[in-house]
Structure 1
Amino acid sequence: MSVREPFRRLREIALAAMVVVFQLSSAAGLDLGERQTQVWVTQEWSFSGVETEGNPFDLEAKVKFEHKGTGAIHITPMFYDGDGKWLYRFTPTFRGHWRFRIRSDHPMLNGHTGGIKVGKNAIHRPRGFLTHVGSRIAEMNQDARDLDGYEFNVFMDQEAFSPRIDAFGNDPESAVETAMAYLDHAKANGFEIIFISVYHNWFDFGSLRHSDHESVDPDLETFRVLEALIQAVYQAKGRVHIWAWGDESRKQTPVGLPGGVNGEVDRRLQRYIAARLGPLPGWTIGYGFDLHEWTNEAEVNAWADSLNTWSGWPHLLAARGLVLEGDHTFRSYGSFGREDGVETSNGGPTDFAELRGMMVSDRGRPHLLEERHTFNRSGFDLDMDGTRRLLWRKSMAGGVGGFFGFYGASSPAFRGRPYPDVEQIKTHYTFWHKAASMLDSVVDTTLIEAKVAPGFGLRNRERSKHILYYEDERQLYVDLKKMKAPSRAIVIDTKLPYEPYKVVEWRPGLHVFSAPYESDWAIAVGF
């Protein structure tokens, strides 16, 4: 059986629930009945026959879903899908019984009710929405309360795959095939988040600039491709990071829309993104790039507040170089040392201390290096050693997110491809995604003998799990005097394909591991 077959089957389950279209012919509220589904499997309802005056994209109707067991609530808008159809979606975050009711000023949509009975997801280790606990990025598993730490690293390869949504073509099925190849390529490079840019495709498929079109409504073709891509990548255990806009020098921003940034047209789009994509797990979104040239913190916070207000589910939002203050937002960094923005040092971060300083500067939200730290980029320490070490240092600092890969050969930022030893990056991925994931991590320098063998230490609050990392060392000193009980320790060489070099049983106390040669080593204890 293909490795993707379980995810195809779940998609079939979800799509089977989407074929029911309710033909409305009166204003009386309908009982839409009960459905059965699984946690994280998106459901969809469709209504036709609703007559409206004015712009149908401006019709407002909200659906409130409430879970009987926990009291959890998700409120999502309906959205217009063309040809007189309005839809709404729901992704359950808990098992048990949910009820919903539609509220709208339109009499043909108001008052409809229904229910959903939700069972356990059939996948052994299901993956839901991303959220955060303090500054740690977290992934929902069995339900919204079952969280685990998540290593957030975006990948692009513009030489192999254009990230522009229009480059995937306007046929959703073909776009999904391309997206699957893109995801396979990302995983072959040690990543699972692919990068997609939209620009003015939001309004007109194929348009990059605000000078390319006169549309004021969301483009249905674009959204059908984008949602199909997001769902397919998610079902294949990947994720999508979107850039909404580009820069104004290329006219890839909302500046040129009627009403400008956060004007009526832009707000209509924001509401539509939240309504149509908000219920779908598997995506995050950044506002764009070179933001300091064309927008400001008040405008990006209004954008983030709009998406958060309208979306009933969490999606981490970013605005590179500018401060976002609301819920579900990254502290997203540029890397050119600008004094008036959220920036690392020029070409940075240069060391672990800078990464750790970022994390402690704001403990209430996750942190993301959204500047693209592509291979051998000029002015950055990003050869093979530098790339590998940045990945490990980010993780050991508490889980700073990142952005890696390659520009296309036509870009002045291109400095070659592929990674000369990609197994090193895949080792990092395997270690943190499969061997040593930890949500309640605490940076603890007392775990290593810094004067003897400098390194980095992480542990959980219960002191039952520990991660140690050393660079250019052979003698690895580990202080586990406060560990609660004997635990298995796995030692790996981060420069080699993932395979435990040594597995030992360590009791609480001081330990020294003598490696046969000098390298960059990692030790996971208690996993």
Structure 2
Amino acid sequence: MGKTGLEVRFTPDKPGRWCVEGVDQCIEVQNSRPEYAKGFVSTTGTKWIRSATKEAFVPQYLMYDKPDINSGIKQFVHQHGFTGFHLQNLRDFLENPEYFEAVVLKTYRAGGVTHFWLWGDEDRGQTPKTYGVDTNHLYHEIAARLSPLPGWTLGYGFDLYEWAESEEISKFRKQLNELTSYPHLIGARGRKNEYQEMAKDLDYASWEWHRPDYSDYRDHIIQAGGRPAFSEDRFRVRDSKIHQHKDYDFTATRRGLWRSLFAGGVANIWGYRSKEGAYSSVYPNHGAIRCYKDFTDRTYHVDTKVVPPVLEGAYCLKPKNNSTSISCYLEQVKQANLLISPEDILDIRYLNTKSCSGGQTSLDQIMSTKIEFLQEADWVVTLVLNSQNSDAQPSIR
């Protein structure tokens, strides 16, 4: 900057005149901002939000380990609808900082978010003591170069219960926060299938949980203690006999997305390892994943809340406090019984989560208190209610 040779990197979060102390140079930040500029990842209660827009979102990350970020964004953010990428090797930041910066910036400009793991596990020599990197230098460089960039979160690593101490994790979080004034959420994946966190005062709650169902996701949020929850195992589709007890197929992937949404909004990491062995290949059901993304964008808000079911066997959300609708999710059904009075309902629309095809229920079906679908499938049903019931739970039959 100027004649000092000083390079200053910062993200202004308010309009106005910004100056660097001791340097005779300032910039003017206008009140307008690009549509993609949604700010840092932040929280409000159990919701993940963007700091500039206050929009809530459910992070659904894709495992990624390829150098072609532009192609990855086109395929997986724009076409599939994933939130962004999960990179598990931020410990390599010093080797190629431009790559990690590019992932964050390009994903951010595509409207997305990046999630990093800093360390790995002890068996692979990926811990601070075994990796052969100057950790103090690494942390300072991450703070100087990466922290001014918005749109990323950080997990301390995986299999932490094998090697990391609580004090070590807390010390790292404190050090990074002291090195930068920019807010980035820091967590540490907890024990396997146990609600036992690795350290206190983390910004989000996280566990390694194998194949969580809806009840597990609900428990994740309850156990998070008022913070956002992250089911931070990697849910992979791959041909692996030793991991088949916890791996996914394409149907389970689709259902996991919807279950984590209707449980209240739990973050996940997904990946598809094809025969070529790369993470991640194009999902053959990417249209169904995009369908989930589009529905979530329309429906999920800061004040979205889980509500008692209005359909038998369903999981239900109310999009907003003043909303006149309730959306419910059901799996493998051909019909569903109403649990509320038909007089409370103005309209019912449904969505097949596999084909993304929709339809509308007739008034006769509503009055019969039973919804008949075209086929047995997984469905999202949205009930539009009489306006007088928008601020209260409809009467249960």
State the TM-score, normalized to the length of structure 1: 0.62
Whole-angstrom CA distance in 2 between matches of 1:416 and 1:269: 27
- From the CA coordinates, give the structure whose radius of gyration is larger: 1
* Pairing 1:120–2:32 present: yes
Shift of 1:381: 6.2
Task: Verify the 8 A CA contact 2:165 2:198 in the aligned structure 1.
Answer: no
In structure 1, what is the equivalent of residue 230 of structure 2? 368
In structure 2, what is the equivalent of residue 458 of structure 1? 317
Match of 2:264 among 384, 392, 398: 398
Change (3 A) 1:431 1:463: closer
In structure 1, what is the equivalent of residue 7 of structure 2? 87
In structure 1, what is the equivalent of residue 307 of structure 2? 444
SS in 2 for 1:191: coil
Match of 2:149 among 277, 280, 292: 280
In structure 2, what is the equivalent of residue 290 of structure 1? 159
Counterparts of 1:197-276 in structure 2 under 5 Å?
197-198=88-89, 200-203=91-94, 205=95, 222-256=96-130, 265-276=134-145
SS in 2 for 1:295: coil
Counterparts of 1:309-388 in structure 2 under 5 Å?
309-321=178-190, 322-326=197-201, 329-335=203-209, 347-349=210-212, 351-375=213-237, 378-380=244-246, 382-388=248-254
Q: Percent identity?
A: 25
State the TM-score, normalized to the length of structure 2: 0.81
Q: Deviations over 1:129-185 (max 9, x none)?
A: 221111111124xxx3x312212011125xxxx35xxxx3xxxxxxxxx10112223
Shift of 1:301: 1.7
* Pairing 1:494–2:358 present: no
Task: Verify the 8 A CA contact 2:348 2:384 in the aligned structure 1.
Answer: yes
Task: Verify the 8 A CA contact 2:361 2:371 in the aligned structure 1.
Answer: no
Change (3 A) 1:486 1:90: farther
Change (3 A) 1:295 1:382: same
In structure 1, what is the equivalent of residue 43 of structure 2? 132
Match of 1:468 among 321, 328, 352: 328
Amino acid at match of 1:92: P
Whole-angstrom CA distance in 2 between matches of 1:470 and 1:116: 52
Which gives a bigger RCO, structure 1 or 2 (Cα 8 Å, sep 6+)?
Answer: 2
Whole-angstrom CA distance in 1 between matches of 2:75 and 2:216: 31
Shift of 1:399: 0.5
Change (3 A) 1:396 1:247: same
SS in 2 for 1:90: coil
Change (3 A) 1:257 1:425: closer
Task: Verify the 8 A CA contact 1:88 1:276 in the aligned structure 2.
Answer: no
Whole-angstrom CA distance in 2 between matches of 1:378 and 1:448: 36
Task: Verify the 8 A CA contact 1:196 1:241 in the aligned structure 2.
Answer: yes
In structure 2, what is the equivalent of residue 431 of structure 1? 295
Whole-angstrom CA distance in 1 between matches of 2:334 and 2:230: 32
Shift of 1:89: 2.2
Whole-angstrom CA distance in 2 between matches of 1:238 and 1:457: 26
Change (3 A) 1:181 1:415: closer
Amino acid at match of 2:2: F
SS in 1 for 2:336: strand
In structure 1, what is the equivalent of residue 377 of structure 2? 519
Shift of 1:418: 5.7
SS in 2 for 1:374: strand
Whole-angstrom CA distance in 2 between matches of 1:334 and 1:504: 44
In structure 1, what is the equivalent of residue 391 of structure 2? none
Whole-angstrom CA distance in 2 between matches of 1:89 and 1:273: 12
Root-mean-square deviation over aligned CA pairs: 3.5
Whole-angstrom CA distance in 2 between matches of 1:309 and 1:487: 54
Whole-angstrom CA distance in 1 between matches of 2:136 and 2:338: 54
Change (3 A) 1:476 1:127: farther
What are the ranges of 5 or more consecutive residues in structure 2 without an aligned counterpart? 191-196, 386-397
In structure 1, what is the equivalent of residue 55 of structure 2? 148
Counterparts of 1:417-428 in structure 2 under 5 Å?
419-428=283-292
Q: Paired residues, what number?
A: 371
Task: Verify the 8 A CA contact 2:107 2:114 in the aligned structure 1.
Answer: yes
SS in 2 for 1:371: strand
Match of 2:2 among 12, 19, 22: 22
* Pairing 1:184–2:74 present: yes
Amino acid at match of 1:248: E
Whole-angstrom CA distance in 2 between matches of 1:126 and 1:200: 27
Shift of 1:423: 2.3
What are the ranges of 5 or more consecutive residues in structure 1 without an aligned counterpart? 1-20, 25-47, 49-85, 103-109, 169-177, 206-221, 336-346
Counterparts of 1:70-109 in structure 2 under 5 Å?
86-94=6-14, 96-102=15-21
Change (3 A) 1:471 1:246: same
Whole-angstrom CA distance in 1 between matches of 2:357 and 2:184: 34
